[in-house]
Structure 1
Amino acid sequence: MKVSDQSILNRIQSGDESALDYLYKKNYRAMIGLVLRNNGTEQEARDIFQDALIVFWQKAVSPDFELTSKISTYLYSVCQNLWRKELERKKKFEESDHEDSEENNLEQQEMIQIVHDCIDLLGDSCKEVLTLYYFDGLSMDKIAEKMGLANSDTAKTKRYKCKKKLDSLIRSRYTASDFLD
């Protein structure tokens, strides 16, 4: 049974919420399709369509509301505008996220550079053991073998002492705020 837009509008203005159910069922596919075709999910599409129905209801019950198009056209336009705003919000959020990750990456690179600079100030054997362990990822056995040390325990002791020297050197040259800015 075909119901006229004016009849729907009259029902809404008299508070008949079943008119919204009718509009929902009648326009669901078109409104959902709009969002899905424009990079949205079905859940986002349902949310946008429900918001559009609320906007329409609020406008329709206003005494000065005048419907100048078909209800379906009005709803489609509201959905388009709401979805456009949502896409802009998502884009800003993604750009902000990207900027944060770039900033974190730069901070991490700065910290790595500070550590490298301080390692370069240590003696050759400390520089070698720390580089082999932390940057090359070698085991203590491999480090002992490569550096001609007696065994892995000797390599661990060497690494421990060199790490303490490095920590001390970093603390003497830099403050905590250099790492937290």
Structure 2
Amino acid sequence: MIKQTEDPIISLYREGFPHFARMIRRMGGSLEEAKDAFHDALLIYMEKEKAGKLNLHSSPKAYLLGTAKICWLHANDKGAILALPERFEAAEPEDTATEEMEKSLMESLVRSGKKCMELLTAFYYDHFSMQDIAARFGFNGKRSATVQKFKCLEKVREEIKSIQRYAQ
């Protein structure tokens, strides 16, 4: 008897969703929010794969988890850091509020430090792999580079929070 292999999407769901649901629970989200975000990410993954535009810099599971986290953050108004203008250049502002948000984002990026700004640019805009980033910045390996990228993002997020608290 020939064993049929499981559909790759079902396999991705089976492997990724429990991990994602735990992560969202730790971040204060509900199971329903986790399901919604994960399903959105799965649709994005399938659409990009079908269109031939899926450009993976990591495993499909990691891509799906990252996309799902972005979907969850945006759905819960926690994704302001993810709306970075291309190459950190200010886009044409639609209004004063947008201009102020972009200005505070740029200030936060600058305050995070030159090395953080270069690391985030290398990852998000130049699309270097974590291994390439590790070599470029002198980290011991891709795990160290990943940890440093996370610390840089946290630094930027904290800067944004402090600016928002100061402005209120």
Query: Where on the TM-score scale, by shorter chain, does this alignment land: which range?
Result: 0.3 to 0.5
- Bigger helix share: 1
The TM-score normalised by the length of structure 1 is 0.37
User: Higher Cα Rg: structure 1 or 2?
Assistant: 1
The TM-score normalised by the length of structure 2 is 0.40
Greater relative contact order (Cα < 8 A, sep 6+): 2
